[in-house]
Structure 1
Amino acid sequence: MKHLSIDLETFSSVPIQKAGLYKYVQSPDFEILLFAYSFDGAPATVVDFTAGERLPADVLRALRDSTCIKHAYNAAFEWYCLEQAGYLSGLSRRDALAQWRDTMLHALYCGFPGSLEAVGSALGLPEDKRKLTTGRTLIRTFCVPRTPTVRDPRTRIRPQDEPEKWALFKAYNRQDVATEMEIERRLSPWAVPEPVQAQWITDQIINARGVRLDLELVCGARECNARATQQLTAEAAKISGLSNPNSVAQLVEWLQAETGEELSDLRKDTVADLLGAELSSDKARRMLEIRQELGKTSVKKYAAMDTAVCADGRVRGLLQFYGANRTGRWAGRIIQPQNLPRTYLHGAELDRARTWVQARKTDHISLLCGAVPDVLSQLVRTALIASEGCKFVDADFSAIEARVIAWLAGEEWVLEVFRTHGKIYEAQASQMFGVPMESIVKGRPEYALRQRGKVATLTLGYQGGVGSLVSMGALRMGIPEEDLPDIVRRWREANRRIVDLWYGVEIAALDTIKTGRENTVLGIRFSLTGNRDCSFLTVTLPSGRALFYAQPFIGTNRFGREALQYWGPGKTSKKWEPLETYGGKLTENIVQAIARDCLAEKIERLEAAGYPVVFHVHDEVVIDCPHDRADLDAVCKMLSEPIPWAPGLPLAADGWVGDYYTKD
């Protein structure tokens, strides 16, 4: 079988970082500038389209040849560019994508960062085999438009304008292919499993399919927000007398003088806490309320939608496959569908609010629904709408992580809850506090225990303690701080098998690194693998997929105890650095990865059954299908069916059918 490695350099006036791949490529001025390629590891050749060069016949044949595997770093880019340029005409998307392998996915699967330069550095590639650091400057020079000036009216730089830089750019293009091939060579012992490869193909189809936008709502929301911002800013200036009431420094100084209290910042949580406390000044309270309204960053998503929407009214590329390092869960892109604000308006009230925003009736909104920025924030989800003649079918797994961890640990009483009534919060409270479950109902004193069962279920499954309860909002729920240690103790006593799971996986991981022996805990296999280029601790899941921890070693944690450490992208720095983990965190990785595999499995089944998914969020899928196929029961039944590699895992799903996206 032949292998063809490809790297493209392109031009488009559309900003790809903000608008995404699909609008970028669909721009009328999009063009492929350079096409670097290599057959079977040979030195790369660069085809310069700007000089009138064309692809050789063997490359043209290979692009459509199912026996030739195409490789690229972030292969979705090369695939879509070539599809839109007509090089893949006559092939269905699924057939065309089946011929591609994404080296970036390979790196992500093995626990490495996403960028080509970062992977080269993490793998220790020598300087002459890494992505050239001059690449960013060259891309800015030749691949993006420039702002014309009186002295230089050019809107873009052409190769003939900068011939020396263009020669360097061609070398950069050639080097990218060499770097990608070297990465692929080093990671070749740990191939991406076929099921994951199939999921990547489906993900590209979903991303290219896109989801329709309510453009009237998007435009109306942006106009209403501009009016509301102007009004609120004017009100704030009138109340405070400040020249710029949006200035944090000015507002902090004014609030301190007005209230007599010291303030260090005006972050979202700080403002919420101040509004929740007793304030001596009504003016200060109103200024904080205005600050809170003006600070709703979620309304900026309307601008993101407007920037990314394609000519057919759809926004594409909302999901990043394997976006979460290690677990392989999807990440959000463009409008970040996994981070949309909640909707508290429902039914007729929600429909009215949408109609008024479309009609730019800000007075109606503020009079009958509340503060305009807050309403606009709630309506962000509803800008995603079903296609003409279609309905959304939205279905999500019920308490998927709680089910998976109980199944993995063999916490039988929890599994029995999920197999029967499913009231896990009441059942958890009953187990923790020794009260009959039937007494935990509204109207009885014992019902207050449900809140404790809920926060414990959502917080403590991954070895969390008092700090985790506080972070989850236990204090804001009215639970006294002195009661939190008792909640932790009671939860752990009621869920001993889950507690055993934490320590079991930690012991197995440490022993594997120390001795090199394989260890298996409740069907999860820990093993060491490596060669002179790479070494990993791998954690093989029931699905057959593995989690990779690069360059593992035994270190010492802050308590002076042995701890598993490995190299990975830092959570805040994003740099390749040593990271530390422990039993609870390993359990979280494993459980979330299994939950991810459940979702991926179901998406494949839905697509095969003719239910087109347009996007998904954690454990929720959104299907855009004709009215006569919008069958919620059928979809929920498919999500609830057993998974072959997870016998005994009780799955359940629920959802809704509607014209636009919301949170039921």
Structure 2
Amino acid sequence: MRQLNIDIETYSGVDIKKAGTYKYAQSPDFQILLFAYSFDGEPVRIVDLAQGEYLPTEVVQALADPYVIKHAYNAAFEWYCLNRFFYSPIEQWRCTQVHGLYCGYTAGLGAVGEALGIPQDKRKLGTGMSLIRTFCVPCKPTKSNVMRTRTLPHHEPEKWRLFKEYCVGDVVAEMEIQHRLSVFPVPEQEWQLWHLDQRINARGLYCDLQMVEGALAVDDQVTGELRAEAVALTGLDNPKSVQQLSKWLEEEIGEEVENLQKGTVSKLIGKLDEGKAKRVLEIRQELSKTSVKKYQAMQTAICEDGRVRGLLQFYGANRTGRWAGRLVQIQNLPRNYLSTLEFARQLVVGKKVEMLKLMYGNVPDTLSQLIRTAFTVPNKRLLHVADFSAIEARVIAWLAGEQWRLEVFATHGKIYEASASQMFGVPLDQIGKGSDLRQKGKVAELALGYQGGKGALISMGALEQGLTEDELPEIVTRWRNANRRIVDLWYSLENAAIEVMETGHPVGVKGLLMQRESHYATQQDFFTITLPSGRKLYYAKPFLRENDFGKQALHYWGMDQTSKKWTELNTYGGKLVENVVQAIARDCLAVTLMRMDQAGYEIVLHVHDEVGIEGDNHDELDHILQLMSEPIPWAQGLPLKGDGFTTNFYQKD
């Protein structure tokens, strides 16, 4: 197999950050400016397409040749853009960004180069973003640039020379990253899954533009009315200002207002009598429900055929391999509780504001609940929505060998009730759906599986659900006593990780293999966990050090989820279990997605444990659910179950 490393620079009038790769590349003014390439590690060459050069015949043939593997950093971009003009099947491509993410590194060519310790001269040139702004996006017409809307090579010849060097430098950096990571290969099944991911992203999810435009129009009118009412009631120039409104409220109600956060506002509304202050706070509460940014994102990203593409980022959640949302962030859409979604949608499409107020009261909240429903299907097709039932709870029970839980999932599946029964010694049939014991079982199940304690229960809403802080420690103790094998799993993984780091010898735990993997020549060093699927979790540059509690703990380098910086992190047993369980659950979804694709189903979305398929008849759902329940070869004894429904638009059942 020959190797071809590629980087391209492009122009489009569409904002790629807001609209995404697919709409960007579909723009009528889209153009490939530069094409830099290297065959089999040879010196990088560059083709100046913007100035009339053509790709060599050898390169054009290689793009379509199955015996030439094409590599690029964020290869989804190069693949899709090049296929506007040349033929190059996705199955012949590999993505160096995915390889870096697989090995536990962050995204971004410069960032991963720095994390890998690649010398500066082999990483991106610092002037890159400035040059991209010069040549790759429209410019504002001014007198000094003779009112032009675009900068061409002959306008800035010296900058254009630097831009070509920058493009060449990208290929050099990408090749060096590929070389450093080559001894830690991505499994072939992951490349097949990435190929499927590109097909799903390119297919896109149909979006009801009338619904989107109606929602934006309704929101504009309603929020305008609410703000005008707040101005009239308060006399303030800007009643949205926390400082101005807090001062007004203190004068109006005669007491100090601590803050205007969501919880504080709710409490104040509950204790105030009818009057100006209460109404102003109700308005603030209504306006806080407004969530039109996602409608705006849909409007920006929608392509000419009515589809939004590029909603999923492969390996976007890093390490565990789970997907992340992009553009509209479908991984984080508000839930819907309205029982009359179809009627509400019709009112929004018709921009019938007064009827919306009459029927639903809080219009901003209604619009928020309807966001999912803007994703639909064309031409009277159907949307099958199916998800794995309690997938993480099933996986952790299977991994730990917690037999009573496995029996629950193999029979009635009522894990909240069964958990409460185990915790409190009460027969299952005496724990009703609305009972206090079921509530305790539910909050314990949601919060405690990954070594959480009292704080985890509070974060999961235990206090809001009627539990008192004094009873939380007992719930933690009872849950752990009822799930001793899961507790053992936390400490087994933690102790195994420390043993691996101290001895350098691999340790097997519950079908997992933990080991230290280093490669001197490429300066790579990892702690890894091999999953039942054969995929690995990577922890870069591992070492042992005491944690904040004075206990020996595994530390490594990774992306801090709060600061978004590449830094030292530490972990513990419960967190390792969480990583492993979420990764196995992800691998179960991956197997199922492949099965669905091979069965000919058109997957248009998936979110964590949920899949959306565009279909033509109701009978398809039964087969889809059957595919979700089929045993997985590397997970014998794991009881999987799918639940689902068929709809005309995306929603939560």
Does TM-score exceed 0.5, indicating one fold?
yes
What CA distance in whole angstroms lies between the structure 1 residues aligned with 2:463 and 2:649? 35
How far does the alpha carbon of each residue in 1:103-162 deviate from its partner, in whole angstroms, 9 at most, with x for none?
A: 000000000001111000001111111111211111111101112235541111111111
Counterpart for residue 282 of structure 2: 289
Counterpart for residue 172 of structure 1: 166
CA contact (8 A) 1:18 1:334 kept: yes
SS at match of 1:326: helix
Q: Which residue identity is paired with 1:32?
A: I
Match of 2:419 among 416, 423, 428: 428
State yes or no: 1:2 paired with 2:7.
Answer: no
Counterpart for residue 569 of structure 2: 579
Match of 1:653 among 639, 642, 645: 642
CA contact (8 A) 2:382 2:647 kept: yes
Residues 555-566 of structure 1: pairs in structure 2 closer than 5 A? 555-566=545-556
Counterpart for residue 239 of structure 1: 233
SS at match of 1:266: coil
Counterpart for residue 528 of structure 1: 516
Counterpart for residue 384 of structure 2: 393
State yes or no: 1:363 paired with 2:363.
Answer: no
Gaps of 5+ in 2: none
What CA distance in whole angstroms lies between the structure 2 residues aligned with 1:644 and 1:521? 19
- Aligned CA-pair RMSD: 1.3
Residues 77-156 of structure 1: pairs in structure 2 closer than 5 A? 77-85=77-85, 87-88=86-87, 96-152=89-145, 153-156=147-150
Residues 511-526 of structure 1: pairs in structure 2 closer than 5 A? 511-526=499-514
Q: 1:260 to 1:117 in 2, by over 3 A?
A: farther
What CA distance in whole angstroms lies between the structure 1 residues aligned with 2:456 and 2:252? 35
Q: Which residue identity is paired with 1:47?
A: V
Counterpart for residue 445 of structure 2: 457
Identity of aligned residues (%): 59
Q: Which residue identity is paired with 1:17?
A: K
Q: Which residue identity is paired with 1:78?
A: E
Q: Which residue identity is paired with 1:194?
A: E
What CA distance in whole angstroms lies between the structure 2 residues aligned with 1:195 and 1:377? 38
CA contact (8 A) 1:630 1:657 kept: no
How far does the alpha carbon of each residue in 1:586-610 deviate from its partner, in whole angstroms, 9 at most, with x for none?
A: 1000000000000011000001101
What CA distance in whole angstroms lies between the structure 1 residues aligned with 2:30 and 2:531? 43
Q: 1:270 to 1:536 in 2, by over 3 A?
A: farther
SS at match of 2:633: coil
SS at match of 1:393: strand
Q: 1:184 to 1:225 in 2, by over 3 A?
A: same
CA contact (8 A) 1:392 1:630 kept: no
What CA distance in whole angstroms lies between the structure 2 residues aligned with 1:113 and 1:186? 15
Q: 1:125 to 1:442 in 2, by over 3 A?
A: closer
Counterpart for residue 484 of structure 2: 496
Q: 1:600 to 1:442 in 2, by over 3 A?
A: closer
What CA distance in whole angstroms lies between the structure 2 residues aligned with 1:264 and 1:319? 41
Match of 2:622 among 612, 633, 642: 633
How far does the alpha carbon of each residue in 1:40-83 deviate from its partner, in whole angstroms, 9 at most, with x for none?
A: 11111110011100111111111010000000000000000011
Q: Which residue identity is paired with 1:634?
A: H
Q: Which residue identity is paired with 2:463?
A: L
Counterpart for residue 478 of structure 1: 466
What CA distance in whole angstroms lies between the structure 2 residues aligned with 1:36 and 1:230? 51
Residues 234-383 of structure 1: pairs in structure 2 closer than 5 A? 234-263=228-257, 265-275=259-269, 277-279=270-272, 282-296=275-289, 298-346=291-339, 349-383=340-374
What CA distance in whole angstroms lies between the structure 2 residues aligned with 1:185 and 1:296? 49
CA contact (8 A) 1:324 1:331 kept: yes
How far 1:163 sits from its partner (Å)?
A: 0.8
Q: 1:407 to 1:274 in 2, by over 3 A?
A: farther
CA contact (8 A) 1:13 1:24 kept: yes
CA contact (8 A) 2:311 2:327 kept: yes
Counterpart for residue 400 of structure 2: 409
CA contact (8 A) 1:391 1:630 kept: no
What CA distance in whole angstroms lies between the structure 1 residues aligned with 2:49 and 2:116? 33
Counterpart for residue 27 of structure 1: 27
CA contact (8 A) 2:231 2:238 kept: yes
Match of 2:498 among 493, 496, 510: 510
Counterpart for residue 534 of structure 2: 544
What CA distance in whole angstroms lies between the structure 1 residues aligned with 2:230 and 2:623? 53
CA contact (8 A) 2:290 2:365 kept: no
What CA distance in whole angstroms lies between the structure 1 residues aligned with 2:72 and 2:335? 38
Q: Say which is worse superposed, 283-292 or 475-484, in terms of deviation.
A: 283-292
What CA distance in whole angstroms lies between the structure 2 residues aligned with 1:261 and 1:502? 49
What CA distance in whole angstroms lies between the structure 2 residues aligned with 1:493 and 1:279? 45
Q: 1:405 to 1:282 in 2, by over 3 A?
A: farther
Q: Which residue identity is paired with 1:637?
A: Q
Match of 1:221 among 198, 215, 219: 215
How far does the alpha carbon of each residue in 1:291-342 deviate from its partner, in whole angstroms, 9 at most, with x for none?
A: 2222235221111100000000110000000000210100001111111111
State yes or no: 1:204 paired with 2:198.
Answer: yes
How far does the alpha carbon of each residue in 1:348-385 deviate from its partner, in whole angstroms, 9 at most, with x for none?
A: x2111111100000000011112111111111000000
What CA distance in whole angstroms lies between the structure 2 residues aligned with 1:439 and 1:312? 54
Counterpart for residue 595 of structure 1: 585
What CA distance in whole angstroms lies between the structure 2 residues aligned with 1:551 and 1:274? 50
How far 1:181 sits from its partner (Å)?
A: 0.1
Match of 2:614 among 624, 630, 637: 624
SS at match of 2:66: coil
What CA distance in whole angstroms lies between the structure 2 residues aligned with 1:264 and 1:11? 51
How far 1:251 sits from its partner (Å)?
A: 1.6
State yes or no: 1:65 paired with 2:89.
Answer: no
CA contact (8 A) 1:258 1:281 kept: no
Q: Which residue identity is paired with 1:31?
A: Q
SS at match of 1:53: coil
What CA distance in whole angstroms lies between the structure 1 residues aligned with 2:290 and 2:485? 42
Count of residue correspondences: 650
Residues 24-63 of structure 1: pairs in structure 2 closer than 5 A? 24-63=24-63
How far 1:260 sits from its partner (Å)?
A: 4.2
What CA distance in whole angstroms lies between the structure 2 residues aligned with 1:219 and 1:322? 32
How far 1:7 sits from its partner (Å)?
A: 0.2
Q: Say which is worse superposed, 401-410 or 123-132, in terms of deviation.
A: 123-132
What CA distance in whole angstroms lies between the structure 1 residues aligned with 2:33 and 2:433? 67
What CA distance in whole angstroms lies between the structure 2 residues aligned with 1:273 and 1:146? 50
What CA distance in whole angstroms lies between the structure 2 residues aligned with 1:487 and 1:261? 38
SS at match of 1:20: helix
Q: Which runs of 4+ in 1 moved over 6 A?
A: none
CA contact (8 A) 2:290 2:367 kept: no
SS at match of 2:291: helix
What CA distance in whole angstroms lies between the structure 2 residues aligned with 1:175 and 1:122? 17
Q: Which residue identity is paired with 2:206?
A: R
How far 1:267 sits from its partner (Å)?
A: 3.7
